[in-house]
Amino acid sequence: MTVSITTVGVIGAGQMGSGIAHVCALAGFNVWLHDLSEDRINAGLATINENITRQVAKGAISDAERQAALARIRPALSYDDLSLCDLAVEAATETEAVKRKIFITLSPSLRPDALLATNTSSISITRLAAATDRPEKFIGIHFMNPVPVMQLVELTRGIATAETTYESAKEFITKLGKTVTVSEDFPAFIVHHILLSMINEAIYTLYEGVGSVEGIDTAMRLGTNHPMGPLQLADFIGLDTCLSIMQGIHEGLADSKYRPCPLLVKYVEAGWLGRKSERGFYDYRGEHPVPTR
């Protein structure tokens, strides 16, 4: 029998967590939003308010829907505040040690029948599930960024994930108005396995002198109709995140074709992480982005 999900806990109030809380509240779910500090939670709530107000301005939703959604989101100052949740979704930084620590600490605060999910885009669901007290109730629910805009959600089962957990998660995603694709528990799943391999190849194309930053991005935008070039997209994702995912694919599959490009490693070592640090393959400190190579 599937679990009836009405209340959702979101751990992490950053870009992904605030987006997940946003779509859940708009779909009628009660939401508890948690982060390491009250300031971070408040920043997440401010982001949600800003993004949901933008939807009203575009005519996508009414102001009454905005107000109702915001009223459904409450701050969770500790894990104990998540004790009433039917589903808890972890959306913390893409680091396995951090995620495992969260699950070990969080699990005792959840109801025994509550489902637990991770928004990881690349880490083994089976390994993360082993850090919990409920591997059969654990599943990967990977939302795309930005969550309120992107239609797809990847569902990934670990080796112990029960069929009822999968069916409950699938039902939950359908109620959000999003589309499910199912991935096996392989490094980076479907979307990031393909996407990050493409980005890594674009960086190799730059590294080997085949084309410039502008040349590569223009070629992919106009030659293959991509909405943004791969190097521009890498800056948007964060070069440290790109490197972490490529390292995970490379280590997980032990295939040299997934070796992270040395230029990507160099940029991360320099602290040039893309938009969030104002420099990556483009320099964002001026009025318009300027290629750094």
> Is 136 in contact with 160 (CB distance < 8 Å)?
yes
The pLDDT value given to residue 242 = 94
The pLDDT value given to residue 30 = 98
| Distance of alpha carbon 152 from alpha carbon 18, whole angstroms | 17
Element counts in the chain: helices (H) and strands (E): 11, 10
The pLDDT value given to residue 158 = 97
Task: Give me the DSSP letters along 201-254.
Answer: HHHHHHHTTSS-HHHHHHHHHHHS--SS-HHHHHHHH-HHHHHHHHHHHHHHHT
| Distance of alpha carbon 85 from alpha carbon 109, whole angstroms | 10
Stretches in the chain below the pLDDT threshold 50: none
pLDDT (tens digit per residue) in 50-79 = 999 999 999 999 999 999 999 999 999 999
Strand order in the sheet with 115-118: 73-76, 30-34, 7-11, 87-90, 115-118, 138-143, 152-157, 179-183
Task: Identify the three-state secondary structure at position 137.
Answer: helix
The CB density around residue 38, as the number of other CB atoms within 10 Å, is: 10
- Residue bearing tokens 């991935």: 183
Tell me the whole-structure pTM to 2 decimals: 0.91
The pLDDT value given to residue 117 = 98
The pLDDT value given to residue 282 = 98
> Is 128 in contact with 135 (CB distance < 8 Å)?
no
- Domains, the chain, in order of start with CATH, read 7-183 (3.40.50.720), 191-291 (1.10.1040.10)
| Distance of alpha carbon 61 from alpha carbon 233, whole angstroms | 28
Instruction: State the average pLDDT for the chain.
Output: 96
